[in-house]
Amino acid sequence: TITPALARPLPEGGYELISGHRRLAACQVLGIETMPVIIREMTDDEAVIAMADANLQREHILPSEKAFAYKMKLDAIKHQGKASMQVAEKLLSVEKVADDAGESKDQVRRYIRLTYLIPELLSMVDENKIAFNPAVELSYLESYEQRVLLDAMELNDCTPSHAQAIRLKKLSQEGVLEN
C-alpha cells in the first residue's frame, strides 16, 4: 500500500499537495488514477514544516536537500512565533529542528551553512567531490571568493582539505583574499 500523501484545501477551492509529489508522479507513470491523501487545514508555516519533515524522512536525501529542508523548517518555526519571539525561543527553534531530525544543533547549523554555497560548489558536495566539513567552511567565503576558488579547483583538478578550507575562511574574514 502507498503511504498517504498530505494536502491542504485552498481558499479559492481545490487542494495544494504538501507532501507526496514523488508518489503522485510514480502513480501517474504507472497509470494509477487514485492514491490515498490526507487533507488537513494548515497555515503556510505549518505546510512548510510538514513538507520539510516529509522530505527529511526520505531514504536517500542529498546534502543540499537536507540543508534547504532544515533551513525552510527553521525559518517557518521562527516565523510562527515572530511577534513574540525572544532570543531564547530562537535558540529553541534550532533545538526543535535538531530533535525532530535526530541530529545535534551544531550539525543542523552546519547543514544550513551549505545553503550559502554557490550552486556549483553545492553540486560538488552532492556529488561527493567536496567533503562536508570543508564545504561548511567554504560557505563562509563571499560568493565572488567562492567563484575564484571554483576556477582554481577546476584549473588544478583538486579540492581543498578541511585545514585548507579553514585557512581560506580565516583569510576571507581578515579581508586578505582578493578578487
Three-state DSSP at 141 gives: coil
| C-alpha cell of residue 72 | 525552510
CB neighbour list of residue 173: distance below 8 Å, 6 or more residues apart: 140
pLDDT digits (tens, 9 = 90+) for 34-78: 888 989 898 887 888 788 877 777 778 889 988 988 898 888 887
User: What is the C-alpha separation between 158 and 172, in angstroms, rounded?
Assistant: 20
Q: Judge whether residue 84 has pLDDT over 90.
A: no
Beta bridge partners of 38: 6
Nearest to 163 by CA among 152, 171, 153, 151: 171
* Whole-structure pTM value: 0.72
pLDDT category, 100, cuts 50, 70, 90? confident
Q: What is the average pLDDT value for the chain, to the nearest integer?
A: 86
Q: Judge whether residue 161 has pLDDT over 90.
A: yes
State residue 179's pLDDT score.
Answer: 54
